[in-house]
Amino acid sequence: MRHLARVPYIYMLAILLLASCGKQYKAKGLVKDFVRENAVEEVSINSFSDLDSTRVISDSTIQALREGLKQDPMFKPNSKLTAERKDQTLFYIRMRYQEDTLELSRTFYFNADLEGIVAVK
């Protein structure tokens, strides 16, 4: 009888897992679309990290990253970031990609609603 009391917890965990997978999938899609539309050359993406969150990046750091994107040789100078920071929490995902024989990475930051990319590092 005690095991029946645990059933709602199992369902709740399953729902949380599915929700986090959906966010991961959406973040990857946003990054792939951004890279496809804004990269100077075709990018060979190897993998993505897990989607995670942070609250320690200041608005001035976000602004510096946004300005730095204009000089980033990987992306077109007129690349547009599609989202603004709405609150303290940001999500981020790291994209690993191949350039010649080197494996490199870029980190993409999203607002909490995953509406678009806020900054790239």
Residue 95 belongs to domain spanning: 2-120
As a dihedral over the C-alpha atoms of residue 109, residue 79, residue 102, residue 92, rounded to 10 degrees, the angle is 10
pLDDT at 18: 43
pLDDT at 80: 86
| Spatial separation of the C-alpha atoms in residues 89 and 51, rounded to whole Å | 13
pLDDT truncated to tens, each residue of the chain (121 aa)? 455 455 565 555 445 444 456 889 999 999 999 999 999 999 999 999 999 999 999 999 999 999 999 999 999 999 988 778 888 899 999 999 998 899 999 999 999 889 899 999 9
What is the total count of domains within the chain? 1
| Spatial separation of the C-alpha atoms in residues 33 and 88, rounded to whole Å | 25
pLDDT at 21: 66
